[in-house]
């Protein structure tokens, strides 16, 4: 799966995986961390940022597109200034 081939189906699958994971695990100590979800395998990586997770994948000798969320928030990153 390349980044050009990423579809809404992968996004929805990743959101479903995350929803199930969050419902079954205590994530209170991970609030604010980034989570990268692989919709193909269901594997989840945690790190301080998406870049940190990318480095983890690189160190493991792999590279794959992931869906990123910020634990405890609805989006990974909000664009725009504060009001």
Provide the domain limits for residue 65. Answer: 3-23+31-70
Examine residue 83 and state whether it is found in any structural domain, yes or no: no
Q: Which two tokens stand for residue 59?
A: 């160190």
pTM: 0.83
pLDDT for the residue 16: 97
| Angle, vertex CA 43, rays to CA 14 and CA 5, nearest 5 | 50
Task: Give the chain's domain count.
Answer: 1
Over residues 1-55, the pLDDT tens digits come to 445 688 999 999 999 999 999 999 999 999 999 999 999 999 999 999 999 999 9
- Any domain includes 9: yes
Output phi, psi for 47, to 5 deg.
Answer: -165, 180
pLDDT of residue 82: 62
């Amino acid at each position: 799966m390349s980044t050009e081939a990423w579809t809404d189906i992968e996004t929805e699958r990743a959101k479903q995986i995350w929803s199930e994971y969050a419902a079954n695990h205590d994530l209170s100590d991970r609030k604010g961390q980034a989570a990268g979800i692989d919709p193909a395998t269901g594997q989840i990586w945690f790190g301080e940022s998406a870049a940190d997770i990318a480095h983890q994948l690189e160190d493991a000798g792999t590279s794959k597109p992931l869906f990123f969320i910020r634990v405890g928030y609805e989006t990974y990153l909000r664009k725009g200034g504060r009001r």
